[in-house]
Structures are given as C-alpha cells and as structure tokens.
Amino acid sequence: MSDSPETPGADAALDVVPAGAPTLPVVDVRTGMFGVSGAGDTSGYGGLVRTIELPAPSVRPFGGWFDEVADELDLALQEDGLSLDVAVEAVVVDRGEITFHVRAEHLLAFVRRLRDEPALRFEVCTGVSGVHYPHQAGRELHAVWHFLSVTHNRRVRVEVSAPDAHPHVPSIVSVYPADDWHERETFDMFGIVFDGHPGLTRILMPDDWAGHPQRKDYPLGGVPVEYKGATIPPPDERRSYS
C-alpha cells in the first residue's frame, strides 16, 4: 500500500530532527584530499606522521628452515670466493619471514646461487619493490626482490640499498628475465637505476614526466583531467573534509 501525502512513509520519518536537539561540536577540519594543506605533505594522513621502527638484524640460530637456507648460501658463495658474511650486510627474521640485506656489488652472485643451488632452487622472482626512507642518510632508497622456491615451498626477500645522490643498484634481469618490467616500474616510481637492465625506460608515466611519484619527497599535486567539460582540481583546491 502506497503512503498518502498526509501519511509520511518510514523513510521520511528518518529525516525528522527533534526541535532543540543538541549538535556535536566540530573537533577537527581537514582541508583537501587526505588532509593535504600544502605541497610538502606526502604522508597521506593530513600531517600525521608515524615513525616506523624497522626490525633489528637477527643472529643465528634463526630457527626453522631459515638456518638451512643461510647455511646452503654460505657454502655456495664460498665457491665464488665469498661467504654469507661478506655478501650480506644483515639478515632480518621477523614475523615468519626472512630478508637478506645484500651488498650491491655481490647481488648477482647471490641471486645466481639462490636460483641454481639444488638445496635452494628459488626458481621464481615475483618482482621487485621500491622503498624510500628519507631519514636514512646515505641509504635512502631500497630495492626489494621477492623470491619463491616452488621445489621447496619457501619464500625469501633480498634487499639492496642506495643513496639518493647515487641511486644505482644492479639489475638481476640477466638471472631472472621476468623481472624486466618490474625493475622498469620501480625505476619509474622511485628513480632507482638498475645498472645492466636491457631497456630501462618508464613504463607507467609518460617519458617526459618529471620526478618519481612514489618517493616520499615527491610533492602531492593533481593532474587536471577533463570529464565532459569539467576538470578535476588538484587536492589543495578541492572541498574540505571533516
């Protein structure tokens, strides 16, 4: 049965506010997308910056199969005149995951052993990620590769750092060819230069784009986009959010 004009429906009753009802005070007002009020805030939290405490290096025994991987790597690297202590700055075991912080000059020897040693057999590199830590003077940029052993059902990470002033790390495409476009994307977004890559060009942004959008020092802005005659203003010119 339809409601008559004299008998409001249930939905209409929801809009009725009793006279004299108290109103909540405005506690905080943020302006712009994600609270951005200027070009310098790249946190995405309206000025709220949370200090990240990174896990400290781990010491043996790491536990579980982590020690087996470390031991096999150590033996394999000795055949290249290296050792785990020489090739790796630190090993971090945290929340059931292991990360090898490898020195850049030994990266290719390290990943070859990950791939080729029968006891390791990390056949797949699932990609490389970029991270930017502006507060880490001299090692602000980090490239992090992710490896999977289908044979042994294991995953490890390999991390290499570089300074903002010289953002160069080796490419591993000669060992893991499928990492080609992943390294291009990390170069595009973070500005990490992968030496030895066969064609290190932008893959997401236009070739003439200035800067690298996922770095922490990249200013938030806006790219005007036209939709049927309307434009999308940059974040600082959009409506306020509370």
Summary mean pLDDT of the chain: 82
What pLDDT, on the 0 to 100 scale, is given for residue 41?
Answer: 46
What pLDDT, on the 0 to 100 scale, is given for residue 175?
Answer: 98
What pLDDT, on the 0 to 100 scale, is given for residue 54?
Answer: 80
What pLDDT, on the 0 to 100 scale, is given for residue 51?
Answer: 58
First to last CA, the chain: 41
Each residue's pLDDT tens digit, 168-226: 999 999 999 999 999 999 999 999 999 999 999 999 998 888 899 899 888 766 666 66
Average pLDDT over residues 123-137: 94
% residues pLDDT > 70 (the chain): 70
3-state SS, residue 154: strand
Band of pLDDT at residue 9, cut at 50, 70 and 90: very low
Band of pLDDT at residue 53, cut at 50, 70 and 90: confident
Average pLDDT over residues 37-59: 61
Predicted model pTM = 0.73
Is the pLDDT confidence value at 105 over 70?
yes
96 φ/ψ sector (left φ>0, alpha ψ -120 to 50, else beta)? left
Query: At the top level of CATH, which class does the domain 56-214 belong to?
Result: alpha beta
User: What is the domain partition of the chain in residue ranges?
Assistant: 56-214
Least confident range from 20-34, 77-91, 96-110, 114-128: namely 20-34
Q: What is the 3-state secondary structure (H, E, C) of 79-107?
A: CCCCCHHHHEEEEEEECCEEEEEECHHHH
Average pLDDT over residues 217-241: 67
